[in-house]
């Protein structure tokens, strides 16, 4: 009976893995060390905004040059960033390595600094300039656990030789070198890399210190020295990219290199396939971890619904999140314009803070936004959680002036005097709440002259007939008291005098509790713009209520003839 094709493939892969284990090192995106500052940011939102811009700048630098530094913002929440790909990495490998940095380093947020050492690259951010640091208190060594050389004295001698050689060569070769030393019993391979922005003197000091401190790992078969300005590693097996380096060896290693290069050349293609399979498995495991974290509830519902988008589809739609498609960025991520395969234009929000503690918030945002429908809220089309980062997909709106939408939400004191305070936001929240409850636009005209949105609601409120203007899709006898409670709170938010409006924290408290409005300090009074007649020639957006009531005029201009348009 013939051996099944699938079994044959698995057997071949296992044989290859057995051979490759002798000649290949760990994946270059393996994390050697992650260190986060213990100090929290003064303003988390400011730090997040600057951090996102920093990561974007470093991504471009990694793509273009393989290294770079950047500075974003001012003051205690400014962010200084550095990226360094090791010189044996190809440009594609550098991008992949930095992608891992971008995925893991946000775990340090909202702390003011963090650094990550991978086996192929390094990334760091702080709220101060550190570009000339060679060593600091966070320097450390990472040594292999358990595995030691069977000939410790000879191993220590060869290790000392190769570390000295690679340090000297790196100083002569622009901050990077690899090398090896071997005897009949011991072979050691080493790599040294200084950050490109470190001057020659500081690079020399960093490498000398690293070469000395890494000796503490002997006779362990693996060792890494993680410094503020450089990185050194040794191993009993080759671990760098042979196609990208000129190896400087000493000892009886020529024949060894011929054997290694021949083996690598023969298995390179198969190894690439194996790595792809492993990464695909890890990606599935990552997605499974999301399912484990959230159970089979929302995440499963999203993946099985029409809200689910494939990560690769969104990546293609935005041309790999090309900078030319960038629409803007906020405290939680960057937004890109994308065109789906069916021609639809969408806005894709790329969430940078993609740690496990943010995953629940991500799905909560998907769930909450999907439940709300309003003309001034951008519609959420769906999300993607099957890739290395979480994405939200919104409707795309071409640029328009906010004046077309927000005039009716402006507080009276802002319209007249331009005074913008947190109580102006409370007014806007009240107007938005009334729109949602009534299903009407705040700029729509009533059936009788002067009965504009707010005055119409106020008229029903005083007459005890609020039920007549409630959106029937919401209204039901079982929800009557709750809806009336929301209307009462919203009217309180739209008071003419800012001091009579509750704070947003009080609004939340009132909405969550069964406390009656009558128990609050102030009662809702006439809205600021009540006695209004339409002005001829005004467009739809200008049909908002424009004339102040007696209660409101006390704090307004004494001018008797005036007209107001949106700022």
- The mean pLDDT value of the chain amounts to 75
**Is residue 13's pLDDT more than 60?**
no
Name the residue with tokens 């492993």.
Answer: 278
Q: Please name the residue ranges forming H helices in 445-562.
A: 453-463, 480-493, 504-512, 550-553
Using CA atoms, how far residue 503 sits from 291, 382, 430, 507, 555, in Å, is 38, 33, 12, 6, 20
Distance CA 485, CA 490 (A): 9
What average pLDDT does range 347-355 have in this prediction? 72
Contact 77, 125 (CB under 8 A): no
Distance CA 126, CA 453 (A): 51
Tokens read off for 363: 């799905």
Contact 219, 143 (CB under 8 A): no
Please name which of 504, 106, 123, 503 lies closest in space to residue 331, comparing C-alpha atoms: 106
Is the peptide bond between 110 and the residue preceding it cis, with omega within 30 degrees of 0? yes
> How crowded is residue 268: how many other Cβ atoms within 10 Å of its Cβ?
13
| Per-range mean pLDDT, top range of 126-135, 292-301, 359-368, 496-505 | 126-135
Distance CA 561, CA 546 (A): 12
Domains and CATH numbers, the chain: 24-131 (3.30.430.20), 144-252 (3.30.430.20), 301-399 (3.30.200.20), 403-553 (1.10.510.10)
Please name which of 72, 94, 69, 91 lies closest in space to residue 82, comparing C-alpha atoms: 69
> How crowded is residue 162: how many other Cβ atoms within 10 Å of its Cβ?
24
Of the given ranges (86-90, 495-499, 553-557), which has the lowest mean pLDDT? Answer: 553-557
Distance CA 32, CA 28 (A): 10
Distance CA 426, CA 554 (A): 20
Please name which of 463, 459, 452, 454 lies closest in space to residue 430, comparing C-alpha atoms: 454
**Is residue 200's pLDDT more than 70?**
yes
Tokens read off for 432: 């938005």
> Residue 387: pLDDT band by 50, 70, 90 thresholds?
confident
Of the given ranges (129-143, 447-461, 483-497), which has the lowest mean pLDDT? Answer: 447-461
Three-state SS letters, 33-47: EEEECCCECCCHHHH
Coarse DSSP helix, strand, coil percentages of the chain, rounded to the nearest 5 percent? 45, 20, 35
Of the given ranges (102-116, 217-231, 243-257, 339-353), which has the lowest mean pLDDT? Answer: 243-257
Using CA atoms, how far residue 427 sits from 116, 243, 340, 437, 543, in Å, is 46, 65, 38, 16, 18
Contact 424, 496 (CB under 8 A): no
pLDDT at 554: 39
> Residue 3: pLDDT band by 50, 70, 90 thresholds?
very low
């Amino acid at each position: 009976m013939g051996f099944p094709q699938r079994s044959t493939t698995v057997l071949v892969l296992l044989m290859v893995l057995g051979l490759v284990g002798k000649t290949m090192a760990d994946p270059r995106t393996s994390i050697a060390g992650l260190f986060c500052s213990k100090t929290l940011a003064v303003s988390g939102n400011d730090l997040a905004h600057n951090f996102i811009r920093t990561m974007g700048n470093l991504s471009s630098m990694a793509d273009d040059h393989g290294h770079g530094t950047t500075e974003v913002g001012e003051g205690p929440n400014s962010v200084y960033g550095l990226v360094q790909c090791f010189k044996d990495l190809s440009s594609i490998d550098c991008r992949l390595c930095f992608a891992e940095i971008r995925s893991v380093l946000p775990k340090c947020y909202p702390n003011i600094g963090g650094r990550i050492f991978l086996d192929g690259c390094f990334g760091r951010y702080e709220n101060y300039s550190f570009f000339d640091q060679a060593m600091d208190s966070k320097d450390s060594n990472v040594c292999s656990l358990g595995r030691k050389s069977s000939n410790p004295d000879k191993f220590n001698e060869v290790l000392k030789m190769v570390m000295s050689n690679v340090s000297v060569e790196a100083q002569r070769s622009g901050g990077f070198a690899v090398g090896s030393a071997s005897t009949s019993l011991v072979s050691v391979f080493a790599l040294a890399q200084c950050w490109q922005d470190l001057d020659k003197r500081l690079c020399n000091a960093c490498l000398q210190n690293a070469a000395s401190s890494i000796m503490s790992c002997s006779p362990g078969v693996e060792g890494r020295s993680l410094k503020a300005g450089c990185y050194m590693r040794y191993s009993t097996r080759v671990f760098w990219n042979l196609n990208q380096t000129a190896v400087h060896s000493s000892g009886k290693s020529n024949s060894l290199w011929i054997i290694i290069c021949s083996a690598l050349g023969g298995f390179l293609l198969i190894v690439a396939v194996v790595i792809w399979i492993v990464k695909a498995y890890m990606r599935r495991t990552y997605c499974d971890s999301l399912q484990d974290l959230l159970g089979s509830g929302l995440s499963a519902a999203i993946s099985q619904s029409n809200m689910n988008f494939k990560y690769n589809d969104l990546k293609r739609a935005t041309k790999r999140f090309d900078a030319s498609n960038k629409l803007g960025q906020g405290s939680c991520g960057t937004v890109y314009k994308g065109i789906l395969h069916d021609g639809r234009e969408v806005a894709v929000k790329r969430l940078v803070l993609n740690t496990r503690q943010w995953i629940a918030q991500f799905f909560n945002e998907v769930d909450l936004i999907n439940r709300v429908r309003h003309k001034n809220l951008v519609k959420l089309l769906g999300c993607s959680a099957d890739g290395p980062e979480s994405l939200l997909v919104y409707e795309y709106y071409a640029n328009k002036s906010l004046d077309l939408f927000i005039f009716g939400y402006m507080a009276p004191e802002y319209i007249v005097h331009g005074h913008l305070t947190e109580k102006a936001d409370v007014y806007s929240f009240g107007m938005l709440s009334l729109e949602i409850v009534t299903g009407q636009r705040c700029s729509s005209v009533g059936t009788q002259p002067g009965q504009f949105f707010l005055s119409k609601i106020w008229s029903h409120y005083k007459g005890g007939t609020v039920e007549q203007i409630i959106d029937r899709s919401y209204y039901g006898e079982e929800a009557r008291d709750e809806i009336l409670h929301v209307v009462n709170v919203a009217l309180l938010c739209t008071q003419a005098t800012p001091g009579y409006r509750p704070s947003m924290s009080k609004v939340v408290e009132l909405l969550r509790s069964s406390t009656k409005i009558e128990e609050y300090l102030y009662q809702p009074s006439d809205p600021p713009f009540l006695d209004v007649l339409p002005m001829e020639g005004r467009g739809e957006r200008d049909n908002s209520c424009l004339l102040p009531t007696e209660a409101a005029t006390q704090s307004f201009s004494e001018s008797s003839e005036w007209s107001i348009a949106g700022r």
